[in-house]
Structure 1
């Protein structure tokens, strides 16, 4: 049958070939090329095919292409190629599958290489630092600003080549080099904070695949180990600086009517409160009926800030009431705001303390030293450790305080603050052996 339909394929014969009436298909075979045929279907469609016998003895028919898109010479060349494979004992169908699989594998490899290159550029130490800053900010942690600043100065600017590396490839030696450089520049505390924030950032990325409380944005960093674990923590040196009566008098005398000075004064009158917490206070946080100021303590690993209530003594309450009135005139919700739009920058009071310290001369001191001075005097007055802890909001994250001790300590704190203002007044008038007069102005 095939021999009766063998012709030399030409464009005219290919175009003229059609399916005979009543048949499912009609074939025309090429005299020039073994097994090459033209299949015509009832609907008018045509396909070049190759019919041959495999080594196993089974017949195979392969579609080569459409006459509209392939020339006769092209299909003859392809038919000979396929027949050569069959003659070698290779099934062209399997060869095609293998060829397509190889092409797919090559494309997948190229895609993977492209994705890897993109990941290397995207998931760097720089972006890990940014992601951790975003996490702190999303959780309402005031430390987000400090973390971003530490990363900017001691990672991004000091080590741009390491910051540009994929985070998962940053080694413990490179982390150690960053911490060492910061420490050797005389910034030991900054070095310790840098190590702490880097460790926390890597830890978050490492835990993120299994910890649903962490953003999925950390997962693509593919952190499997924390390189900071091998770096020894830098212990914070316990400070011992305390202001004497002369220094306390001079410090208070230097405080004026400007908003940063008023913040410093209220922090002192309230027993030595943390400035960052005080500056976040809003007008709604002060209750004039009870003369109580509510602060929010976000320190530590607590997921929600802890309410820190301060029942103020008369001088501090008077100052707080004036600050509330000032805020209402500015139409701001913040107790401490220069223009009403945002709270006072928490670094401003610290800079003011530094300026006062420079003007006073002598041994340097900062806000931590003033806070230490307050607690030292409170201890000397017989205020218990537990009451001081409640008053200054430190050491309150343990199991006992979190789950069992629900006492508010309001009366103890109020008595301590009243006694504190009285003690400052005694220093002012020179009682109890106080060497100097301290002016407790609340302008």
Structure 2
């Protein structure tokens, strides 16, 4: 094992024979330091393939550590001439440091492995931190997007869409109008994430409507908002509710703590004289043209026992059975998932009105078909339709009722008051409460009605409508009670 003081010249001239894998030139200044040459350095002035190494014994075993390429490491420390500070550590200094570790029974290779492991761990930690920050940023963005998307405004729209999907078009229109008038204008609340909306914010919306003198509108708004929140709250657990309500994340209903606003009951009923004047306006007495379509709808609703206008206007030609003079309506009010069939065995005058409407609808369709050069299509014809394409809008009829009310120049009334008048007068005729409920299609619910009572009440309803038409005729003739009307439950004299 040749030893000599290493110098730049000796290192430069040191080469590895071609028949050797490697050779070493050992330093006498720093024990354990050597230059190792491999066959890559076969010519003089070639430092390629030469590296400083350190070799010693630890625990009676040879230990060799590569310090580094001789082209990178200087042999001795590089010292700044002005500051006398070491700017680059030399191979001899490194060899002495390694020998110091050996003297302390420390394996420098373990230190290197530990340092490498620490460096790797630090790098992995840095990478993990970057990933965590990226994931947090993505989560924050997703949450921001969610908050921007699942707002109170969006919840209101989703609830209205559900009402429309379940066939509750009238309720959907009323609910949409309430939200549009009383929620959406307040963007600071409407654009708040629905799950973050507070009871205080809801109370502020309701209070504003109430303070404007709209007591009923305030109560309705509270009811609609409560229904929207409750629906979204149940959505994750009720498979019958749409899944698009689940992402709103509603866990509590902020409307619950807000007291319900009692709706004032209507008390208005029309007197016999007012009802006579109302019928007179609808019949266009003294006019050759006769009643308009909206007037016919108002008359039929009255003569058929005070039916709801929205349900009556949805009737089609196919809903009338000429043989039994029975008109079929569909009642979708309340929490029903499917509209309930509501059959009306009409008395003669109401049946004649519907027959005329059926004839009118068929005649119009035949004319349209002839003009278009096609066969008439009698399926799906509306009883009440101006042009045959869509059913008459309930608003059109309501507006006409308001015109009649104004022209009578008396105490104002609405279609709801007409309906109340009919039931009140039916009660005066001795019609039982159960029959009136069936005839006017009130909220028929409960275990008995839903599961056990399958009686159609056809005879009772027909008798009630016959008695009602007789009462209306007596009113028209300014008679108090017609001589041929017998109170139900009493015998004729």
Shorter chain as normaliser: what TM range? 0.7 to 0.9
Distance 1:31 1:387, change over 3 A: farther
Does 2:207 correspond to 1:173? no
Give the distance between the partners of 2:462 and 2:470, measured in 1 at CA: 12
What's the secondary structure of 2:341's corresponding residue? strand
Moved over 6 A (4+): 56-60
Match of 2:417 among 369, 378, 381: 369
Q: What's the CA shift for 1:366? A: 0.2
Residue 90 (structure 2) aligns with? none
Match of 2:397 among 349, 364, 378: 349
What's the secondary structure of 1:379's corresponding residue? helix
The equivalences for 1:115-264 within 5 A come to: 115-142=142-169, 143-157=171-185, 159-255=186-282, 256=284, 257-264=291-298
Q: What's the CA shift for 1:91? A: 2.1
Cα pair 2:334 2:443 within 8 Å, conserved: no
Give the distance between the partners of 2:71 and 2:388, measured in 1 at CA: 93
Cα pair 2:273 2:475 within 8 Å, conserved: no
Does 2:479 correspond to 1:431? yes
Question: 1:27-75, CA deviations, whole angstroms, 9 ceiling, x for partnerless residues?
Answer: 9x744668xxxxxxxxxxxxxxxxxx9xx96969xxxxxxxxxxxxxxx
Give the distance between the partners of 1:419 and 1:147, measured in 2 at CA: 38
Which structure is richer in relative contact order (CA contacts within 8 A, separation 6 or more)? 1
Q: What's the CA shift for 1:319? A: 0.5
Q: What's the CA shift for 1:336? A: 1.5
Give the distance between the partners of 1:328 and 1:296, measured in 2 at CA: 22
Does 2:406 correspond to 1:358? yes
Distance 1:404 1:104, change over 3 A: same
Q: What's the CA shift for 1:200? A: 0.7
Cα pair 2:298 2:397 within 8 Å, conserved: yes
Cα pair 1:6 1:31 within 8 Å, conserved: no
What's the secondary structure of 1:148's corresponding residue? helix
- Unpaired stretches in structure 2, ≥5 consecutive residues: 1-21, 23-34, 50-65, 74-97, 99-105, 285-290, 366-379, 483-493
Residues paired across the two proteins, number: 375
Residue 308 (structure 1) aligns with? 342
- Unpaired stretches in structure 1, ≥5 consecutive residues: 17-26, 35-52, 61-81, 435-443
Structure showing greater Rg: 2
Cα pair 2:275 2:475 within 8 Å, conserved: no
Distance 1:242 1:104, change over 3 A: same
Give the distance between the partners of 1:394 and 1:59, measured in 2 at CA: 92
Give the distance between the partners of 2:417 and 2:403, measured in 1 at CA: 15
Instruction: Provide the TM-score with structure 1 as the length reference.
Output: 0.79
Q: What's the CA shift for 1:409? A: 0.3
RMSD: 2.9
Match of 1:391 among 439, 444, 459: 439
Instruction: Provide the TM-score with structure 2 as the length reference.
Output: 0.71
Cα pair 2:209 2:218 within 8 Å, conserved: yes
Distance 1:208 1:3, change over 3 A: farther
